[in-house]
Amino acid sequence: MDKITSSIKKLENGNIEILFSIPAGLVLSEKSKVLAEFGNDLTIAGFRKGKAPISKVEENISDEKVVEHILNHLLPQAFVNACEEHKIRPAIYPKFEVLKITTTKDLTKDGVWEIKAVTAELPEVVLPKDIKAKLKKTKDENQLIKKLVDLVDIRIPEVLINEEVNIKLSQVLERIEKLGLTLEGYLKSVGKDSQKLRQEYKEQAVNSISLELILNKIAADHKIEVSNLEIDEFIKTTGEKKENVNKEKRELLSRILMRKKALEFLKK
């Protein structure tokens, strides 16, 4: 039976590459399903909507769109299967890159599509045994945070750093557009170039991810938890009604409050 196979490569920068090989038989089988889906919503001259034969549907849909939908069908489950097979605990949904692909019309029986996915696992956090003692005389919170990050050596995978940097850059671009400025004009006004700005955001990303992981570890080691009542009280301070805050947002607030309590634990 045709199935997707995978292999992994762990890189020095902390990234994990997963190489997928998708056999022609599976591609062509999935192609039939994709064309059938397109056909359900397609109106072609001479046929009622959704009733055109697959051959006519294929003539009216670009192969590029067909390929895109085939990959959208296959890759999410292929990624899940690869993580189970290779015992990977991904910290981020992967970035996919096409390595080798042919049009579905040119695909031979023995042909193979090759796709690369880049992901990463969260790095292990090892805390110094006397970390609280080393922070004992540090009262200012900003200084404590800086010292905490300096004390714990964590190697953050590059893909996690880049994801954080890209989010920050997107936010900046959005703000710039709202002000009616160009990126070039903004950079000139702050005396920076795009490379320097990205490097600054990269350093900030490393520190923020490191701090988050360290506080998560401290909370786990010292069984620091957040109750539903604490979440409700925090929501009340925002002026929002707790019934309007969904489960996902409550979980996010719980993690934020947990890290805040971990920081308070270190300050005591």
Residue 176 near residue 183 (C-beta atoms within 8 A): yes
Residues 167 and 200 in one domain: yes
Residues 28 and 114 in one domain: yes
Residues 46 and 170 in one domain: no
**What is the pLDDT averaged over residues 221-250?**
90
Task: Identify whether 125 is part of a domain.
Answer: no
Q: What is the CATH number of the domain that holds 190?
A: 1.10.3120.10
Q: What pLDDT is stored for residue 1 in this prediction?
A: 56
Phi/psi of residue 174, nearest 5 degrees: -65, -40
Q: What pLDDT is stored for residue 71 in this prediction?
A: 96
Residues 137 and 214 in one domain: yes
Over the stretch 179-221, which tens digit does the pLDDT of each residue have? 888 888 888 888 888 889 999 999 999 999 999 999 999 999 9
Instruction: Rounding to the nearest 10 degrees, give the CA dihedral for residues 73, 74, 80, 81.
Output: 150
Task: Identify whether 124 is part of a domain.
Answer: no
Q: What is the CATH number of the domain that holds 33?
A: 3.30.70.1050
Residues 135 and 263 in one domain: yes
**Of the candidates 97, 119, 141, which is a domain's last residue?**
119
Residues linked to residue 17 through DSSP beta bridges, in sequence order: 9, 118
Opening angle at CA 257, ends 94 and 204, nearest 5:
50
Task: Report which of 116, 189, 174, 127 is spatially closest to residue 153, judged by C-alpha positions.
Answer: 127
Residues 38 and 153 in one domain: no
Residue 259 near residue 216 (C-beta atoms within 8 A): yes
- CA–CA dist 58, 36 (Å, integer): 9
Over the stretch 51-72, which tens digit does the pLDDT of each residue have? 888 888 888 889 999 999 999 9
Q: Residue 50 pLDDT more than 80?
A: no
Q: Say which DSSP state 223 is in.
A: T
Number of domains into which the chain is organized: 2
Average model confidence (pLDDT) across the chain? 91
Over the stretch 27-49, which tens digit does the pLDDT of each residue have? 999 999 999 988 888 888 878 78
- More confident call, 1 vs 136: 136
Residues 52 and 169 in one domain: no
Residues 113 and 184 in one domain: no
Q: What pLDDT is stored for residue 178 in this prediction?
A: 87
Domain containing 34 equals 5-119
- CA–CA dist 231, 229 (Å, integer): 5
